Amino acid sequence: MLIINDILIDEDIFLQNFVCDLRVCKGRCCIEGDLGAPLESKELDLLEKYYPKVKSYLSDENRKAIEEQGFGIVDDSGDLDTPLAPDRACAYVTRRDGILKCAYECAYLDGKIPWRKPASCYLYPIRVGKVGPYKTLKFDRWHICDCALIKGERQGVPCYKFLEGPLTDVFGEDFYRQLCEVGEAWLSNRDK
């Protein structure tokens, strides 16, 4: 692990090539798994605030799931997650051109709201965690993203460069600049 300020960085973020390939995976990360996407408590307010402008993007079934469960649920580990629709997909998912997408992100891209989507979704495959007083950024390996690993390898794009926009939006330009400097220095020393 590398460190920038109070954030521990998994070296795989620099080593692993990754570029989402929605054409192949169709957004499976929005429907696979046992839980919804991790949420930060401050995101609940944003989900609720922008819901009136987002709900038209959702199916009746997904709107009902949100209205019954709330904007976030607490899982068995005590963590906050997005609610799930009856088919176990994230309740905030919508379909566009056969691809699963976040309804909040669709509304953002359509200029209807100023917030894109929960950070855990925006930063994927990087997962934010906590170890003692430190925040952690770890590369999450999930078989449904094998096509993204292949595309990333083919294009030669490391994860941290693929996620430049999300990392900058969530952590700031200064952090991203430091991340690049630290990562590139570590990579050049590693190769010696």
In b/e form, how buried is each residue of 26-54, taking b as 16+ CB within 10 angstroms? bbbbbbebeebbbbeeebeebbeebbeeb
By the 8 A CB rule, do 157 and 19 touch? yes
Q: What is the pLDDT of residue 52?
A: 98
Q: Give pLDDT < 50 ranges for the chain.
A: none
pLDDT of residue 97: 86
> What is the pLDDT at residue 104?
98
Residues 136, 172, single domain; the answer is yes
Q: How far does the chain reach from its first CA to its final CA, in angstroms?
A: 19
Type of residue at 104: Y
Q: What is the pLDDT of residues 107-137, one digit of tens each?
A: 999 999 999 999 999 999 999 998 999 999 9
For residue 69, the model assigns a pLDDT of 96
Domain identity same for 49 and 129: no
Is residue 161 located within the same domain as residue 108?
Answer: no
Structurally, the chain folds into a number of domains equal to 2
Instruction: Determine the pLDDT at residue 192.
Output: 67
Considering all CA atoms of the chain, what is the largest pairwise distance in Å, rounded to the nearest integer? 57
Helical segments of the chain, H only: 12-15, 22-25, 41-54, 60-69, 103-109, 119-122, 146-155, 159-162, 164-171, 173-190
Q: Does 51 share its domain with 74? A: yes
Instruction: Note the pTM of the prediction, 2 decimals.
Output: 0.89
Domain that holds residue 32: 26-121
Q: Are residues 45 and 100 in the same domain?
A: yes
Do residues 110 and 164 share a domain? no
Shared domain check, 36 and 100: yes
Whether 14 and 52 share a structural domain: no
